[in-house]
A and B are shown apart, each in its own frame.
Chain A
């Protein structure tokens, strides 16, 4: 029973990492492509990409917090 519990938590953590990694990877790819196309707009592109990046990071962190809470409140 305990093993299933830990396995579930670990699986959830892995899913969070996969999702957040895909999201951040897409951001980085899009930013690199658009900066390569228009190097003069690098600062604006970085600024536009910052906010959704942090929101995405927030979601991933929230998931980690809940996983942590699940482990602690067992």
Chain B
């Protein structure tokens, strides 16, 4: 009786020790989430490139994703358009139909009402490029391509996670290039200069800067108004930068924190069955719901970036003072 009791106590003690040991090297949700939303670190670039003028030009995950998306879009859209132009009777079919619908709806529902009829053909190409690129970058981030490849590599082909293969080198970092503040800052810089170019094209260089503030006000008002308008010039692209990147990062963080509940529960109760049970009953429905929400967010953010860019360009062209 006593020996049995002692054995049980010993076993319980071992379990507790195991659990404590697990907690020490256990699952760190924050680290995993940051790893999956941030760019791959400069210690693990995909292609090593030399430093030029103190800047590391190594190709990281986000750069690779951006190039892949840009190349894919260039190939697909150019090929579709070329094939369409070669037709004898110009009737769009299949993919070309969708493309024409996209071009027309962006021109007529985003650019035309904001920019105006005079400059609509000047600015539609830029808006289309922004929309398609941002949308494609966002959508690619939602598809776990590399994670699936890594899983096949680990469990089907049986390679170790430490080996120096190509698949292991692309596993570091997140897939959504638009979740990187540098990418969205570059896109917003395009907007920043487009606003100036649009104003200059419509009114001339000097008139564009004069248009920033309404004319015919009392002098003290200008002392207040000019700094505000100059600040507004920089706030617009800054807000664009933050909005897109934060939305993309936020959605991924939400999905990943819910998915990490599986591992947290499995760790707390020290059994895989609890984790799997929580996964199927709680985590799976929630993650599916948030992923569905993410699909909407992905579309809306690409739309918003395009809409706001055309609104700002329209404000520089059609000055209401």
- Chain A residues packing against B (C-beta within 8 Å): 47, 50-51, 54-55, 57-58, 61-62, 64-65, 68
Contacts and interface: CB of A to CB of B under 8 A. Distances in A.
Interface of A is mostly: helix
B122 to A, nearest CB: 22
A50 B300 CA distance: 11
Contact of B307 (A54, A61, A68): A54
Contacts of A58: 239, 242-243
B247 interface: yes
Contacts of A54: 243, 304, 307-308
Given A58-B243, A61-B247, 15 more contacts: A47-B113, A50-B307, A51-B307, A51-B308, A51-B311, A54-B308, A58-B239, A58-B242, A61-B243, A61-B246, A61-B250, A62-B243, A62-B246, A64-B246, A68-B246
A51 B311 CA distance: 9
Contact of A64 (B250, B304, B311): B250
A58 B300 CA distance: 12
Contacts of B247: 61
A58 B188 CA distance: 14
Contacts of A65: 242, 246
B250 A57 contact: no
A62 B113 contact: no
Interface string B286-321: 000000000000000000100110010000000000
Contact of B242 (A51, A55, A61): A61
A57 B307 contact: no
Contacts, number: 28
Contacts of A64: 246, 250
Contacts of A68: 246
9 A-B pairs with least C-beta separation: A61-B246, A58-B243, A65-B246, A54-B304, A58-B239, A62-B242, A61-B243, A65-B242, A61-B247
A57 to B, nearest CB: 7
A54 B243 CA distance: 9
A51 B113 CA distance: 13
Nearest to A59: B239
From A47, A50, A58, name the one whose CB has the most chain B CB atoms within 10 angstroms: A58
28 contacts: A47-B113, A50-B307, A51-B307, A51-B308, A51-B311, A54-B243, A54-B304, A54-B307, A54-B308, A55-B239, A57-B243, A58-B239, A58-B242, A58-B243, A61-B242, A61-B243, A61-B246, A61-B247, A61-B250, A62-B239, A62-B242, A62-B243, A62-B246, A64-B246, A64-B250, A65-B242, A65-B246, A68-B246
Nearest to B113: A47
Contacts of A55: 239
Interface string B231-246: 0000000010011001
A68 B307 CA distance: 27
Nearest to B250: A64
A59 to B, nearest CB: 8
A51 B314 CA distance: 13
A62 B236 CA distance: 13
B242 to A, nearest CB: 5
A46 B113 CA distance: 14
A14 B142 CA distance: 27
